[in-house]
Copies of this chain bind each other. A is one copy, B any other.
Amino acid sequence: MTELKFDKWQALYAKRTLLMKSSEIRDLLSVTARPDIISFAGGQPSTKSLKIHKVIQATQRAMHREGEAALQYGPSEGHEGLKECIAELMKEEGIEAETHDILVTGGAQQGLDLIGKVFIDPGDKIVMEAPSYVGALQAFSAYQPEIISVPLDDNGLKVSHLEKILEQRKEKPKFIYTVPNFQNPAGVTMSLQRRQKLIALAKKHQLMVIEDNPYGLLRFEGEKIRALRTMDASVIYLGTFSKIFSPGLRLGWVVAPKPILEKLVFAKQAADLCSSSFTQRVVEEYFNSNQWRKHVENLNKIYGERRDAMLKALEEFFPKEAKWTHPQGGFFIWVTLPKYLNTTELLAESIREEKVAYVPGRAFFADGTGQNSMRLAFGYPDTETIFEGIKRLSKVVKRQMSLYESLTKKLHL
């Protein structure tokens, strides 16, 4: 058996593929599954609190009720019964959606891929938050857009900044992608005022708004803020069962205006024909048993405690030069260190010396900035591990700061 030479394959790849490469960060993070590493890197939800037997029971009910259909192909749009659950869930966000407004996807990630496929031609402009969800950066980048980055502050996307960009630019972007609640990676939430302004701006410039809301129900502090989709029915909304139930079932959804949904369904059909009839029915049964509310309440208690533990540890151990966000929900705290620190270099040391992992900020920027920032996920490790991990991480940070200070002193001698 012989193989074609590697360089010959290289010549066969599409242009988009030549842009894909294994990142330094990805390589560094490959160790996070090791049990001796405290990882604040992955955005995994806690699945420990999900009762295994409840999932088995949901499977049994689904199989006894509709076993043959559960093992067969289903409609590309998704299983009607699950879409009814989704319509119910959408009401929790104040969104009225009929089942025919909904497309079931392989997690919200597939929704992002399908949106990229339906909207982006190479060179098209799209607007993203800076920092932004790394999975959205990957999904959209495959379709070769030009990404316009708009910064965030504690009130979320700086809409006035976007306004200036839109007024200056001749070519208009196709859409803006935002995670308005407990943003991944920054942990900040867009204020009501900014949401209203964003919707008005989008209308004025005929710009599609993509609202990605995986963490919306995971609020442990403060008042819920209206979803963008409630302000304008042309907003494309992405939801997921990954954070409120289980990411292992890979189910999410898109709510979109009818003609767009139709295009997304075609794209879905070409991508994988349909989502699993089996998992769709298991999730349907689980939700219809009304266990999900209790589970989400429980999650919010757990995550709230973990956030508190992380904030407390940061306060106690991190140097005063460091700044961090105060998330009212979700999974993430964003830490900004002094400008001279490089969190990618720091990560190598942190894993080697202190066995603590996080994601360097650079991963979340389309333009390669964010070198001195880091994302800390508090959803998965327990409070004691969080405390210990932040303590250890602070040592690396302080060490590097002292090193820098002694170096600059020497240079000034």
Taking Cβ atoms with an 8 Å cutoff, the residues of A that contact B are: 1-4, 6, 8-9, 12-17, 20, 22, 42, 44, 47-48, 50, 52, 55-56, 59-60, 63-64, 67-74, 105-107, 109-110, 113, 117-121, 124, 135, 138-139, 141-143, 174-175, 203, 206, 208, 231-234, 242, 246-250, 257, 259-260, 262-263, 266-267, 269-279, 282
Contact = CB atoms under 8 A, between A and B. Distances in A.
Contacts of A274: 250
21 contacts: A1-B232, A1-B233, A2-B234, A4-B206, A4-B208, A4-B234, A12-B119, A12-B175, A14-B119, A14-B124, A16-B117, A16-B121, A17-B266, A52-B64, A105-B272, A106-B106, A113-B272, A138-B269, A246-B278, A247-B277, A278-B279
- Count this chain's copies in the assembly: 2
Interface-centre pick from A17, A107, A269 (highest chain B CB count, 10 A): A17
Contacts of A60: 56
Main secondary structure, interface of A, reads helix
Contact of A118 (B14, B74, B113, B272): B14
Nearest to A173: B12
Contact of A20 (B50, B141, B266): B266
Nearest to A4: B234
Given A12-B208, A48-B68, 10 more contacts: A3-B232, A3-B233, A9-B208, A9-B259, A9-B260, A44-B72, A50-B71, A52-B67, A71-B247, A248-B277
Contact of A72 (B73, B248, B276): B248
A250 B271 contact: no
Contact of A67 (B16, B55, B74, B139): B55
Contact of A63 (B17, B56, B272): B56
B175 A248 contact: no
A240 B284 CA distance: 25
Contacts of A249: 71, 276, 278
